[in-house]
Structure formats: C-alpha cells, structure tokens
Chains A and B, each alone.
Chain A
Amino acid sequence: MRHSTAESLAPTDGIRDYLAVQEQKSLLRFLTCGSVDDGKSTLIGRLLSDTKQIFEDQLAALERDSRKHGTTGDDVDFALLVDGLEAEREQGITIDVAYRFFATPKRKFIVADTPGHEQYTRNMATGASTADLAIVLIDARQGVLRQTRRHSIIASLLGIRHIVLAVNKIDLVGFDKVVFERIVADYAQFSRELGFQSIVSIPMSARYGDNVTGRSDKTEWYSGPTLIEHLETVSVDEAVVELPFRFPVQYVNRPNLDFRGFAGTIASGSVAPGDEVVVAKSGKSAHVRRIVSHGGDLSQAVAGQAITVVLDDEVEVSRGNMLVSPAARPQVADQFAANIVWFDEHALLPGRSYILRTETDQTSATVTDLKYRVNVNDFAHEAAKSLEMNEVGICNISTRAPIAFDIFAENRTTGAFILIDRITNATVGAGMILHSLRRAENIHWQSLDVGKHGRADLKNQRPAVFWFTGLSGSGKSTIANLFEKKLFATGRHTYILDGDNVRHGLNRDLGFTDADRVENIRRVAEVARLMADAGLIVIVSFISPFSAERRMARELMASGEFVEVFVDTPFEECARRDPKGLYARALNGEIKNFTGVDSPYEAPENPEIHLKTLGKSAEEMVEALELWLNERDIAENQYDSGGGI
C-alpha cells in the first residue's frame, strides 16, 4: 500500500471527498543536514520506507543496487535511494541535494536531503533556502562536529527557526542516555546565539527505525515524541500574511493597449481591489482596480499567491520594482550591510563588481567593505580581506542603482539576494540583508549646471577613456606616452593614468593580492570617469589582469566612451625585455603574485583595439591607434556633426 494507513480505507466512490481532505493538509518543507556519514540519506530512506512511499519496482532496483554499491552488508542500503547520481553511488557520498516527497495522514512533506561534505556546502544551502525546519543529524559516537556547526549556522542565517537534533546511531553506543544528554547539552551550548525558536532532540537509529516512526523499546528513558510525531505536529507558520503588503513586480502583462497588468507573487501581506498601494522606488501611489485571474477576478489575494494586478492610475512600474503598503514601506537604498555565504572557488573580492539579483530586480554591486568573517566553530569574528568558498562574512554592499528591500529577519523573500559572476554567470554567493547604511540615504547627487558636454565642447573634443591592458613590460607605457604626445600635438586635452605612478600616491596603501588589485582598478576607473566627465581624453595604462574589473570600468563610462586596448606581447618576450628587472626576480620567487608568473592574466576577448606588438615599433602601434580613431570619427560624424575626438 502506498499512501499508508488512512488512505487505504478511502472507498473509490468517495475519491472526491478523500481528495478534499488531502487538499487541506498542511505542507512542511524540511532538510536533513549534518556531517558526512551521520546517516542523512539513510534516515530519509527510512522515512520513505516506513511511510510506504517506495514502490515495489523501486524496492527491487534498490535491492539490486545495494548488492552492487551498498555499504550495509546484506541489508538494503537506503542511502542509495536518494543518492541518485552515478558519481554519488560510485563514491558512496552525497554531492547534491535530492528532493523527496511523502505524506502521512496528517501532513505532506517535501524533504531536501543535503550533502555533508564541506565542499558541497552550496548544495546544502540550496536545500535550506526553501525549508522551514532542519533535521541536524549527529553520529552519537562522534558528537557535535565542525560540519554540524557549519550547517547549523547556515540554517540559522537562512532563516530556519526550528531544529530537530537527531542523535543517530544510538544503537552503536548501547542506547546510552548519558551519551545522548551530553550531546544535547553540547549542542544547546553551541547554538545559544543562533536564534532558533525550537530545538527538539531525539535519540534514534535511522538504520533500524528506533524513534523514527515507531517508539523504541530500547530507549525507555526517552519520553519525547518520535521524529514523525514531531514533524506532523510542529508549527512553523510564520504569519507572512500579517506582514505589510509586498508585491515584487515580476512581469508586465500587456496583451493590448487596453490592458496593463502587473504580474508577480505576493511576498507578504494581502491585497484587495480598492486598496491603495505605493510604488516602492518612486513613492507614487495608485489604487488596485482589479486582481485578474483565469477563473475570474479575485476579491482578495494573500502571500504566496501568483496574481496579476491592474491599477487605476497610469503609474510607471516595471520589473524589479515593488508595489507595497503605503503605511509600512520597504527601504530603498544603494548601500546596505548583509550576511554573505560564499559558494565559488574564486574568492569574494571587495571592490570587484558582481551582478546582484533579488527575486525580480537586478543591478551591479560591489562589496565596499568586508567587515569580518565568521568562524564556524566558535562564532569568532575574524578580520579578512576576501571570503573563500564556504565561508560566511558580514559585508557592506554598494549597488549601482537603489533596490527596494526589507531586512531579512523581517521578510525572507524581500530581504534576500544572490550574487552572480559577471564573466562565468555562476551563482557565487547568497546574501541576507541586515540593514541599510545611513550614508546612502544622506548623500544625494548634487546637480551641477555646467555639464560634461559643455566642458568637452569647450575643448572641442569628445571625451574618451583608452584603457591599455597587458602584461608588465608589454609596452603599454611607451605606447601610451607616444600616443598622448601625438594627441597633445593636435590640440587635444589629455591625461595619462599610469599604474606605477598612481601606486605612489592615490593607491600607495594597496599591495598585489587579488583583493588589492581589484581595489586598485576600481579607484583608477573612478578617477578616469571623473576625468572623462571633465571632458578629457584619458589614457589608462594598467596591467589590469582581470576581465571582471575591466568590464566594471567599461560599465562606469558612457556608452562608446570606453576603448579597451589590448597591448598583446607574449609572456616570453616581456620576460626577455624585462625593462624593470621584475621578471627575473618574480621567476626567482622573490616577488609574489606577479602577473603571468604566479598570478593570472585574463586576456581581453573582444578589445576595441588589439595591438600585436611582436616585431613592431611603438610608432607603428600608435599609427594603428590613430587609424582606429579616424575611422571612428568618420563613422560617428555621419550621425553626429558634433566635435568628434
């Protein structure tokens, strides 16, 4: 029988009644986490098996697999039921989260079985982000381990408030009450600061089923609930319907000129026709005219529903904005502090530009200050210059455009974001907003009467930023110098920002770690932007080894203003020239983090100008630059009779 006891009694002619009862069951989403080999997958296998969710053909396949890959002798190895990837079965470990579904007469469950290995923490976080409760497994023989603590911290950061402490393999310590109580005390001590609302500790054996679905006769000293009793009854409802109305606009539905609907999922609160709502970013208000649905207009809608709203006023709203309650508005800011969990093997670097994405909004963002890293063992706050994979830290974040948000502790939907790498598009981190930074609210743009165009017109030129990138010794400075002389001779107003020179002043506090290189480029890009704003033709001559920062610099400038010049000289040739004697020292190991030696150079893929210097003189290179300039002038003058460069 599949759907256990009560279901089997359902008479076929009463199917609709039976389904109506099913429909009213509540849903609990939980995850299992903890260290490797604590028995997470086995526990889920046990839950599925005891609640009759495993079909005969699946059981037969499981028995076959157990003989082939199993680690439990002649018994069925339940872990193989959830470790669904070939690599997992071969290696006997869980790599990624598996989602499983089961139901009892009282509740429906979606369980995320998450990996215990530290290197797969991102997959554990994936499972935890949609869960309301975490089962933290502990091997009774091992006690609280590093991964137990790491997973508990991440669960807490991601907003999970209910914990089941499953002290597993209790059979292997002789069902000993003392061992159980010591582990419970250890965990209580450790988790004091994690803000959990409930921690229920249960001694169990997932392999043999003690205290999982049935009470064990070997732990008579334990009087609490079995695991399934607790899961069936624990209340995790957070009254999101009671929170202020938040409606992140996901999609604007415009089938014709007469209909303009804002589609999205209500993050919190409720809404009804006639309600006043405010557009979060502009502060403009309107009233809800209709809530449109396929089956007819709705008289109200609540948190969790995916709806389409029509307003009575033609206010400007697009994807990424939010319709909100006028009485309690979210924050709108471009600087805020957040907890960050880092997922990527390339560390988080302050100053580097990432894509920040909330549920529907997207902008670019940099970490302006990594305040500290959290030690997962003792919560110690440690100074850090970067955040490595699987580390957790508190950061200040600055976004290109303001976003609308609530703090995560108050709203799990509107207070969260992810960070995406600009080059690889990988999801590199997850963030939980702590609070906005006051300076963002207090510093406004001062509008000035004399503008960029006026300043450039006076110089009879068009501003541009020529960004020379290439290895040390590739000839950047030589070519840049000659190029400026030529421009200067024809009456252009120019300025060279040279890597070495800037490091003597503005950037004298920076070294050569990846984090400092990123900050180095960020500052220079900002200075170049100010100079372009002043109407100048700026020549930047920096190694600038990372494509992410060059792209960030490009995006700071007005469209068409950024000209990437790749000074392409092979490494061997640069090392041979070695004008400053640096390569010799770097290759000897005397200089650390030297680009091309022990620090990478990411060559531009589509530079505006690609200068292959081998066998060519600096004069020839500058001719190529001038040729490019002249061609651009001709092309642009066809559309624009303005000054040109």
Chain B
Amino acid sequence: MNIALTHLQRLEAESIHIFREVAATFAKPVMLYSVGKDSSVLMHLAMKAFYPAKPPFPFLHVDTTWKFREMIAFRDQMAQKLGFDLLVHVNGDGVRDNINPFDHGSNTHTHVMKTVALRQALDKYGFDAAFGGARRDEEKSRAKERIFSFRNAQHVWDPKNQRPEMWKIFNTRIATGESIRVFPLSNWTELDIWQYILQEDIPIVPLYFAKERPVVERDGMLILRDDDRMQLRPGETVENRLVRFRTLGCYPLTGAIESDADTLEAIVGEMLTARTSERQGRLIDRDEAGSMEKKKREGYF
C-alpha cells in the first residue's frame, strides 16, 4: 500500500482543510477571485473541498476597470462553466473621479480602485471571512502573515500583534464588524502552483502563454497596450513582440516578459531558470521599500 503522500497532495490537503474550516465556522465567507493563476488554483481547490456540493460561498472580483480584457473574458467564461456565484465590485467614486494609473500613479490608483474598493465590497455584503490567493514565498511581509489573518472593523492588519497560530487549530472567533483574511495557498511556492496546474490541467488566462502582442517599452517595462486609454508618449512606439506574463494585474502596471514559452511545460522550464522573482513585473511593489506591508495594513490583500 502506497502511503507516502506526495508534496502536492500534502499542500492540497492543507488547503482543503482551510477551506472547510472557514465554511464550518464563519457566517458569511467570500472568495476573492482575481482571475490570475493563483486564483485558478484556489478555485479548483474550493471545488474539490466541497465536492459533490458547490463551494458554499460566492466569489468576488474587485474590478479596477484596468484589467486586461482577456482576464474579464476568462472570468465570465469560468463563472458560467463552473456555475459559481460571481460578484463584481467597482469603486464608483473612483470611476466618477476618473482615477487611473496614468494620471494618478500606481499608488493612488491601487489604493482607490483596489484597496478602498475591496473594503467597500466587504462592508457592503458584510463578509466576515475572505479567502485570498496570497503565498508566503511572494514577498517578505507575506512571509510573516498567518493563514487566518485577523482584521479589525476598519480592515486594518496589525503585523506586530498577530494571533498565535498553533498546529492546525485555527482561532476563528471575531467580534461583530471584524473579519479574517484566509490564505489557503500560504505554503505553496510559485513552482508548486505551476506544477499543480500542470498535474490537474487547470485552465488559466491565455496571457500566461507567449504570443505576439502589441507592447510599449516604458520605464524599463514592456506594457501591453490593451486599449487606447493608454496614450503614447513622445518617442514611444507600439511593437509586436513575442511576450507573456508571469503575473497579472492592471495592464498599465504589469510588465510582460519576452518569451517563447507557449505550453505549460515550457513555462515551468522557463521558471526553473528564471533569475528574477515574479513580482518584479509588478510596479506596485516597487513604489517604495516596505510598500506591500503598508498596502496590506490599509486593507489590501
């Protein structure tokens, strides 16, 4: 009898355990669905955790209105295919004020259209637990965060005063208005994610695969000009280049990498020899030192 669990089986079991724990102990959970590869894995695990039932919570997408069009199409297609309850929230105040990454910078844009929007959505529906796809290997402040991460009624994370988290015994008790962010993928690495996508044949947004795309070189990054809201600066030109994305966010803030990896195997092969981290393509992390922690303290995922 084969009794040794593989590495991925162990990670999968841990994540499923976390999903069920939330479903059993919270009144109104929600899963944050950001359409990227980690969200795809998270969704797949949620389907497994409650099979043959559907996940007993809705999926929430906080739409900044600057996501790649292919992400939105993929999102709607998945919602239809899997039949989950999809909520989409846009910060109407931000739209009214025309907040955008070009005029206001990544900091303000992310704060208004993502962090504030997320807080609005959580308050609007009164969610008491929210799943996110963050992993500890992504970034140094995430490496410090608990799997069940407490937020006060203002959605604030207090990194200096986290609840002890012993064994698999999670403290899920909160007072009215408080909430918990839950990270079932805490102990997964980027390689684990790809390996699992390959093993389980999980659908992901086509932007992860290399293809000729119209890109503009700006501030040392290759930006895909996804629509004509992106004005060209003097001297800039749009070139078709063979590129793909390691990570997906708002298109003006997400750098493409030049690559010919157009299969999952090739992507994994490329990742194994990568010399930079996946978040390197994310402008939001580079605004200032410790910027992720700051955003997280304000309520960002």
- Interfacial residues, chain A to chain B (CB-CB below 8 A): 1-3, 7-8, 10, 12-13, 15-16, 19, 22-27, 55-58, 61, 64-65, 68, 81-82, 84-87, 89, 95-101, 108, 110, 122-123, 125-126, 129-130, 241, 250-251, 253-255, 259, 261, 263-265, 270, 292-294, 300, 302, 304-306, 308, 319, 343, 355, 357-360, 412-413, 416-418, 420, 425-427, 430
Contact = CB atoms under 8 A, between A and B. Distances in A.
B208 to A, nearest CB: 15
Given A129-B166, A306-B17, A427-B171, A27 B7 contact: yes
A308 B51 contact: yes
Given A96-B144, A255-B52, A359-B167, 9 more contacts: A8-B272, A57-B277, A100-B143, A253-B50, A263-B20, A264-B20, A306-B49, A360-B24, A416-B167
A12 B266 contact: yes
A14 to B, nearest CB: 9
A122 B164 contact: yes
Interface in B157-211: 159-160, 162-169, 171, 173-175, 186-187, 189, 191, 195, 198-199
B257 to A, nearest CB: 12
A425 B173 contact: yes
A23 B8 contact: yes
A85 B280 CA distance: 19
Nearest to B4: A26
A26 to B, nearest CB: 8
Interface string B133-171: 000110111111010000000000001101111111101
Nearest to B165: A126
Given A84-B293, A125-B164, A359-B167, A7 B272 contact: yes
Contact of A129 (B167, B187, B293, B294): B167
7 contacts: A8-B272, A126-B166, A259-B53, A265-B17, A306-B14, A418-B164, A420-B173
B275 A56 contact: yes
A23 B3 CA distance: 14
Given A84-B293, A100-B143, A343-B164, A305 B173 contact: no
Nearest to B44: A294
B24 to A, nearest CB: 4
A359 B143 contact: no
A96 B49 CA distance: 30
A292 B23 CA distance: 18
Contacts of A122: 164
B293 A86 contact: yes
Nearest to B135: A101
Contact of A355 (B139, B141, B163, B173): B173
A15 B169 CA distance: 37
A25 B191 CA distance: 14
A65 B289 contact: yes
Contacts of B174: 425
B136 A99 contact: yes
B47 interface: yes
Contact of B16 (A82, A300, A306): A306
A426 B171 CA distance: 8
B231 interface: no
Contacts, number: 203
Contacts of A27: 7, 10
A309 B17 CA distance: 14
Interface in B1-17: 1, 3-10, 12-14, 16-17
Interface of B: 1, 3-10, 12-14, 16-17, 20-21, 23-24, 47-54, 136-137, 139-144, 146, 159-160, 162-169, 171, 173-175, 186-187, 189, 191, 195, 198-199, 265-266, 268-269, 272-277, 280, 289-290, 293-294
Contacts of A425: 171, 173-175
A430 B164 contact: yes
Nearest to B290: A86
B40 to A, nearest CB: 15
B160 A101 contact: no
A263 B274 CA distance: 39
B137 to A, nearest CB: 5
B265 A16 contact: yes
A292 B53 CA distance: 11
A1 B269 CA distance: 12
A531 B81 CA distance: 62
A50 to B, nearest CB: 17
A7 B271 CA distance: 11
B186 A99 contact: yes
Contact of B24 (A19, A251, A306, A426): A251
Most buried by A among B140, B160, B164, B168: B164
A68 B268 CA distance: 36
A416 B7 CA distance: 25
Contact of A12 (B4, B164, B166, B269): B269
Most buried by B among A57, A64, A261, A355: A57
B254 to A, nearest CB: 15
Nearest to A242: B3
A417 B171 CA distance: 11
A98 B143 contact: yes
Contacts of A300: 1
Nearest to A254: B53
A85 B169 contact: no
Nearest to B293: A86
A412 B168 CA distance: 10
B143 to A, nearest CB: 5
Contact of B168 (A241, A413, A426): A413
B151 to A, nearest CB: 13
Given A99-B187, A251-B20, A304-B13, A82 B140 contact: yes
Given A15-B268, A22-B7, A304-B5, A426 B277 contact: no
Given A95-B160, A292-B51, A418 B171 contact: yes
Contacts of A82: 140, 143
Contact of A430 (B6, B24, B166, B199): B166
Q: Nearest 10 A-B pairs (CB), nearest first?
A: A84-B140, A255-B53, A12-B269, A306-B16, A55-B277, A15-B265, A306-B13, A425-B173, A251-B20, A294-B51
B167 A19 contact: no
A551 to B, nearest CB: 13
Contacts of B3: 241, 270, 302
A244 to B, nearest CB: 15
A294 B48 contact: yes
Contact of A2 (B24, B144, B274): B274
Contacts of A129: 165-167
Nearest to B162: A96
B52 A259 contact: yes
Contacts of A263: 20, 49-50
A418 B9 CA distance: 27
A358 B17 CA distance: 14
A22 B194 CA distance: 12
B280 A55 contact: yes
A6 B164 CA distance: 38
A300 to B, nearest CB: 7
A321 to B, nearest CB: 13
Contacts of B269: 10, 12, 15
Contacts of A10: 269, 272
Contacts of A360: 24
B269 to A, nearest CB: 4
Most buried by B among A12, A302, A417: A12
A65 B82 CA distance: 45
A264 B163 CA distance: 24
Contact of B10 (A57, A81, A304, A420): A304
A95 B143 CA distance: 13
A1 B169 CA distance: 38
A211 to B, nearest CB: 26
B195 A23 contact: yes
A305 to B, nearest CB: 5
A99 B290 CA distance: 17
